[in-house]
Amino acid sequence: MPSVQRVHEALKDQDVVLLAISVDGSGMPAVKSYITKHGYTMPTVVDSGMEVARTFGVRAVPMTYVVNRQGIVVARGFGPVDVDRPEFREYLQTLVAQPRG
């Protein structure tokens, strides 16, 4: 999550949204406590009912999805992903540079 926060801060003004989705069954109070404790400011939602997880075919967590402006999943990965790596940031910048469709 720290890398997600860093990239959120770096790209939030560039039409990029990094959205954290928790499948924690404890609900928003537990998630909000964790987010607050660590100082995370990226948008965060709770998917306790697993509706979003089912829609995206999540089989395990953590999962990372990259969705382009057209709503198409253009990349996905299972396990911890360091979205702050230069290669990943460059990939996101490439997507941001693409014209709106």
| CATH numbers and ranges of domains, the chain | 2-93 (3.40.30.10)
Model pTM score: 0.77
One-letter amino acid identity for 14? Answer: Q
Check pLDDT > 80 for residue 101.
Answer: no
Evaluate whether 84 touches 59 at the Cβ level (below 8 Å).
no
Q: Rounded CA gap, 54 and 29, in Å?
A: 23
Confidence of residue 60 (pLDDT cuts 50, 70, 90): confident
pLDDT tier at 42 (50, 70, 90 boundaries)? very high
Q: Is the Cβ–Cβ distance between 63 and 77 less than 8 Å?
A: yes
What pLDDT is recorded for position 51?
A: 93
Q: ∠ at Cα 35 (46, 25), nearest 5°?
A: 35
Q: Virtual CA dihedral for 74, 79, 80, 86, nearest 10 degrees?
A: -40
pLDDT at position 72 is: 86
Average pLDDT of every residue of the chain: 88
The pLDDT of residue 36 = 95
